[in-house]
Amino acid sequence: MNDVKETAYIGLNGLYEAFASYNTMVTNRLLAHAIGRDEALIYQTLLSKRNYYQQKNLLDEEGYFYSTVADLQESTTLSKFQQASATKKLEEIGLIKAKLKGIPAKKYFCILENNELLVSLLNIGLEKSNSYKKKSHENSLNSQRLKNLTSCSEETKQQDVNKFDNKELNNLTSCG
């Protein structure tokens, strides 16, 4: 497959090929909730690169491997600045180590194995995810209550307004 235009001429199957897994970025949602989308994407990309280097016996004696800014940008779409910010945060969290090495200098990464930290981060992500789901559910219920108020009596409307501390409900002044 040379380019997207050629793929479009191949037909639907060819177009789906453009969305194949090797052209897809996968990020763990819970990890992204816990540490940030860019950080989760960089971390998972670095994990993949480490696995590749490990399979090829190319990790150095300390477990480091290199990845250039251009390589990470191609893999993640993140700019040099976004990469620097994400890798700095990943280091602060304790998921990776990074260092410059060689001439010309290349950035080397080491994935720190800390299962306890990863489980903790996933639990934080789960809590955030559940919180978002709860807020979404509450907003949905409040929207439904607002719809119901448009066809209610003044007495019913006032009872509902008293039950719920919601600005939209409090600002509603008349029924239908």
103 confidence band (pLDDT: 50, 70, 90): confident
Across the range 149-160, mean pLDDT stands at: 58
Across the range 135-152, mean pLDDT stands at: 63
Between CA 34 and CA 97 the distance in angstroms is 19
38 vs 16, residue with greater confidence? 38
Between CA 87 and CA 46 the distance in angstroms is 10
pLDDT at 12: 61
With 80 as the cut, is the pLDDT of residue 13 above it?
Answer: no
pLDDT at 139: 64
With 70 as the cut, is the pLDDT of residue 2 above it?
Answer: no
pLDDT at 162: 58
Across the range 66-92, mean pLDDT stands at: 95
175 vs 87, residue with greater confidence? 87
55 confidence band (pLDDT: 50, 70, 90): very high
With 90 as the cut, is the pLDDT of residue 9 above it?
Answer: no
pLDDT at 104: 84
176 confidence band (pLDDT: 50, 70, 90): very low
Mean pLDDT of the chain: 80
Across the range 43-55, mean pLDDT stands at: 94
Percent pLDDT > 70 in the chain is 64
